[in-house]
Structure 1
Amino acid sequence: MECRPLGFLLGLPFALVALVLSLVGAVVWLIGSILSCLCPCCICFAWLANLAVDLVMLPVKVLSWFTDQIPC
C-alpha cells in the first residue's frame, strides 16, 4: 500500500463518523448475539450479526477508499 497522506487527512472526518457507527455496530452485535442464543434455531438473527460486523469494519473501509481515490 502506498503512502498517501492527503487521502488519509481528507478521509479522517468521515472515518470518525464511521468509528461512531462501528461502536453502534458493536452494540448491535452484542444484542444480536444475545437474541440468537435465546432463539432455538440460532440462525434467526444471523443477518443482524453480519450487519454489525460490516458496521465495525466501516472505518477501515472508509479510510482505504479515500486513500485509493487520491492519485499519485
Structure 2
Amino acid sequence: MGDCRPLGFLIGLPFALVALLLSLVGAVVWVIGSVLSCICPCCICCAGLANLAMALIKLPIKIIRWFTDSIPC
C-alpha cells in the first residue's frame, strides 16, 4: 500500500467537488472560446481563454493528487 492514502483522498474530496463545479464552468468557457477562435482566428484572447478553461477542467484531479501526496498514510 505504498501509494494508498485514503485520508488524503477523504479530506480532499469536498474541495474536489467544488473544483468539479468550476470544471463544468471551464467546459462551457472552453466551448465558447473554441467557437470564437474558429470564427475569428485573429483573436488571440480566445485561445488564452480556452487554455484557462482547460486548466479549470483539470483542477479536480490536481486537487485530489495534491491532497493525497501531502498527507501520509
User: What does residue 22 of structure 1 align with?
Assistant: 23
User: What does residue 50 of structure 2 align with?
Assistant: 49
Distance 1:15 1:40 in 2: 34
Residues 1-72 of structure 1 correspond to what in structure 2 (within 5 A)? 2-41=3-42, 43-72=44-73
Deviation at 1:38, TM superposition (A): 1.5
**Which has the larger displacement, 32-41 or 17-26?**
32-41
Distance 2:55 2:41 in 1: 25
What TM-score do you get using the length of structure 2 for normalisation? 0.90
What TM-score do you get using the length of structure 1 for normalisation? 0.91
Aligned residues: percent identity?
A: 75
Structure 2 residue runs without a partner (length 5+): none
How large is the RMSD of aligned CA atoms in angstroms? 1.5
